[in-house]
Copies of this chain bind each other. A is one copy, B any other.
Amino acid sequence: MTTRARVARRDWIEAAYQELAGAGERGVTINALAARLGVTKGSFYWHFTDRPELMRALLDRWAHERTDEVLALSLGSTTEPRERLRRIQALGREVAPIDRAMRLWAQHEPAAEEAVRHADRALLGHIAACLEDLGFGAEEARLRALLMLRAWVGGYLIPDGSDPGLYDTTLDILLARPR
């Protein structure tokens, strides 16, 4: 038969990652993960010393994933700035659940805040680079990149904040030159 329910350390991390994306940080509870994995807490406390260790592993996993994604963006096939910005938006829609969970978590956990800060620095750098390619000055590009990111994550905190027509036109607005 197919080897009993033995799970590895990465299985716990993966399950926790799913739970984090779906239910937020306080949703990732040992018992819930155990149930999801078909084992009990006994397994968990063999692979980890305590919950904080698991959460640190989550931070690590997310940081790496996010780094890879942003790297893939900057290594993308096209060099057309506007298309690159559109791909950033597309990525944003993909990672929305986990991204949102991470940012909410970062509100009351300094370690998570630090991870988000670091990831945002990279992402903002990439966005700003695209804007500079479009002819904006360095400082202007920085400001608009930050504005673009804020406009994006702001959607997490606004009920009914997902106007279908918004994503199509937000770039137009953010890229309009001052007169």
Contacts of A108 in B (CB 8 A): 24
Copies, count: 2
- A-B residue pairs, 10 tightest by C-beta: A154-B154, A150-B154, A117-B159, A103-B157, A176-B176, A151-B151, A153-B154, A153-B157, A150-B151, A113-B159
Contacts of A178 in B (CB 8 A): 172-173, 176
Given A166-B147, A176-B179: A160 touches B117 (CB 8 Å cut-off): yes
> Digit string of A135-179 for contact with B (CB within 8 Å is 1, else 0)?
000010011101101111111111111010110011011101111
> Digit string of A84-102 for contact with B (CB within 8 Å is 1, else 0)?
0000000000000000000
Interface residues on chain A, number (Cβ under 8 Å): 42
15 pairs, A vs B, C-beta closer than 8 Å: A24-B108, A103-B158, A104-B157, A107-B157, A116-B159, A117-B160, A120-B158, A147-B173, A149-B154, A150-B152, A154-B155, A156-B157, A157-B157, A173-B173, A176-B176
Chain A contact surface mostly:
helix
